[in-house]
Amino acid sequence: MEVYVAGELRKVNFIYKRIKNIYLSVNDDGSLQIKCHRLVGKEYIYAFIKEKEKWIAKQINKPKASSVEQLTGASGNEATWLGKKYKVKYIEAKRNFIAFEDDCLVYYLKDINQEIIDKTFYKYAKKQLTYMIQERRIEWDNFICLANGLPLPEINIKYTTSQWGSCNPSKNKISISTRLIHHPPGCLDYVLLHEYAHLLILNHSKDFYEIIAKYMPDYKKYTNILKNRL
């Protein structure tokens, strides 16, 4: 569906959910996204969009924040996986999964929309990070936990947009963000070490960063990569 609104013919993307209301958002490329029930008529949606024309124009003309870069499952025709950019292809399929083929990230999807793209991407990101963490945690289990008489922590991987990782020493739990899949493996190494170090020191004091530097002298290389990118 396309509508002429805010001075331009704009594509309208739909996300169907079992909801009563209609939700409108403006994408970075100026296209519109409608979230609504599948039974809502196109004429009603068109009228709804035209009613929101002033708001749409305001969103389009709003200065874009340049301080934060937030990657998604697929940004335009590219996706970023472990620090490398891949061209993206979409193929209709009976189940949702991704595969790397001929230096491309191929999405096999039952229905192609941004919500499903991201959900599929981060499902496989979690599998990849789980495998990587199982390998990498052995070092910190030994040097941080067993060397200091601490029990081994439970590590969870979940989608977060506000932090790369967290540690709850009282519950002996560490959480790692699936969004680390976008960045080089060294970033995961840094965040994992960072959270393990919190099992010894709760704050970000000089002593805390001395532990980080002891095991990862070049850790600032990775903090610079992760800074302002969520």
Domains of the chain with CATH codes: 2-61 (no CATH), 78-121 (no CATH), 126-226 (3.30.2010.10)
So what's the pLDDT on residue 69?
A: 56
Sign of torsion, CA 27 31 36 37?
A: negative
**SS3 (DSSP) at 78:** strand
So what's the pLDDT on residue 9?
A: 81
pLDDT in tens, the chain (230 residues): 888 888 778 889 999 988 988 999 988 778 899 999 999 998 999 999 999 998 898 887 765 544 445 788 887 789 999 999 999 999 999 999 999 998 899 999 999 888 999 999 999 999 999 999 999 999 999 999 999 999 999 999 999 988 999 999 999 999 999 999 999 999 999 999 999 999 999 999 999 999 999 999 999 999 999 986 76
Strand order in the sheet with 8-16: 2-5, 8-16, 32-36, 23-26
Contact 96, 90 (CB under 8 A): no
Q: What is the model's pTM?
A: 0.69
So what's the pLDDT on residue 63?
A: 55
The span from the CA of 10 to the CA of 29, in Å, is: 10
Instruction: Give pairs for 12-21: CB < 8 Å, separation 24+.
Output: 12/45, 12/49, 13/113, 13/114, 14/113, 15/113, 15/114, 15/115
Query: If you write DSSP's letter for every residue of 160-180 in order, what string do you get?
Result: -SS-SEEEETTTTEEEEEGGG
Consecutive H or E run containing 80: strand 78-81
- For residue 109, give every residue at least 6 positions away whose Cβ sits within 8 Å of its Cβ, in sequence order, or none: 90, 91, 92, 93, 96, 116, 117, 120
Q: Which residues make beta-bridge pairs with 174?
A: 155, 167
So what's the pLDDT on residue 1?
A: 82
